[in-house]
Amino acid sequence: MKGRVFVIGLGLIGGSLALCIKKEHPESTIIGFDINREQVRLAKMLGVIDETAENIPDGSQYADLIIVSAPVNDSKTILKALSTLPLKPDVIITDTGSTKKIIVENAADLRDKGITFIGGHPMAGSHKSGVSAAKDILFENAFYLLTPVEVADTGKVDELKDWLKGTKAKFLTITPDNHDYLTGIVSHFPHIIAASIVRQTEKLSESESLIPRLAAGGFRDITRIASSSPNMWKDILLHNRENLIALLNQWQEEMEGVKELLQTGNEKDIYQYFYQAKQYRDSLPAKEKGAIPAFYDLYVDIPDVPGIVSEVTGYLAKENISITNIRILETREDIIGVLVISFQTEGDRQRAEKCILTYTNYSTSNGS
């Protein structure tokens, strides 16, 4: 395809989509805009975009595809602004937000003008943010949810998929309401639970000084999504509040059931509760990307000697394997030290494991 693509918001998602389109449609021109001018400068310098726009009207005027990759509240404002501009009549506008019902409602003025808006949500992310972390493989095998309104032209949905086929994502078309309900269950609600566990632990640590040290290992892992952007999650929760209130009510009932199990002390029922949870969790796809970005971690048991971290990372560098994060666990039973290395993809994690086993005799595991 040949045309002009205008990306509004040059963060990780917007930048990665730009790279995917450039790779699949090299004859197209990618124009970028961001309120953070440093992100725009970096995007141009890194070759993520071909041209820069000084403002939204300039970038959108001749665009064939407009991608709004901004926080939900900002996206609402941008869509309203776009509805007042002279756009190409056959332009497609899409977004990348984590909630869809309110976004689609705010695109009503565009539809009234005959402009096609198709809500979008690429369900992928990374440990890093910003355009410098953008990758054309970010969405590979991830679910990409599209939420056209009922009157949307099927041909336009296919056209959008064609523009985005370089993502190599798995496209699913659902309603905005269904999107918000499903993502509320498997993404938004777990973030609330993770944050609540951390908040409760913080309060308890005021009287128990050992808690922060003991929480340095596995506790950090099971609550790591609580480190997500507070500003982003504030907006997501407010825009999906009805679904989340209902889920929290169900969660309270679930916890009341657990409390009753403990009060009765029935060993069989308690065992069955954890057994059923294990069975369902183990049945979930292990190598597919879902609503929450996967963490491709490799645990390396290392001896406590100087230079050991640089030794391991040196082997990875020799094999040209990129890492996204690295840390040392101080608390694990019967192990001197554990190096936790995070990677962008499962393929990188597997290559790293093979590399370390080739160059050392250190034992490894994926921690799952």
Percentage helix, strand, coil for the chain under 3-state DSSP, each rounded to 5: 50, 15, 35
Cα separation, 7 vs 56, whole angstroms: 10
Cβ-contact 12, 138 below 8 angstroms: yes
* 137-155 pLDDT, tens digit each: 889 888 999 999 876 677 9
User: Among 355, 354, 345, which Cα is nearest to 314's?
Assistant: 355
Angle (nearest 5°) at CA 352 between 347 and 353: 100
User: Among 79, 90, 109, 130, which Cα is nearest to 4's?
Assistant: 90
Q: Could you tell me which residues are beta bridge partners of residue 5?
A: 30, 65
User: Among 118, 75, 73, 72, which Cα is nearest to 98's?
Assistant: 72
Give, as one character, the DSSP assignment of residue 88. Answer: -
Greater pLDDT, 217 or 102: 102
Is residue 335 over pLDDT 50? no
Please give the pLDDT value at position 289. 67
Domains and CATH numbers, the chain: 4-174 (3.40.50.720), 179-283 (1.10.3660.10), 296-365 (3.30.2130.10)
pTM: 0.80
* 17-65 pLDDT, tens digit each: 999 999 999 999 999 999 999 999 999 999 999 999 999 999 999 999 9
What separation, in Å, do the N-terminal and C-terminal C-alpha atoms of the chain show? 42
Give strand ranges (E) for the chain. Answer: 4-8, 29-33, 51-52, 65-68, 92-95, 116-122, 143-147, 170-173, 296-301, 325-329, 338-343, 364-365
Looking at 24-38, 99-113, 352-366, which range is the least confident one? 352-366
Is residue 167 over pLDDT 90? yes
Is residue 339 over pLDDT 90? no
Please give the pLDDT value at position 336. 55
**In this structure, how many other beta carbons lie within 10 angstroms of the beta carbon of residue 23?**
12
143, 233, 277, 319 from 289: Cα distances, Å: 7, 20, 20, 25
Range 252-276 average pLDDT: 95
Q: Convert 226-236 to b/e letters by CB count within 10 Å (16 or more is b).
A: bebeeeebebb
* 188-217 pLDDT, tens digit each: 999 999 999 999 999 999 999 888 888 776
Encoded tokens for 224: 């790591």
Cβ-contact 290, 170 below 8 angstroms: no
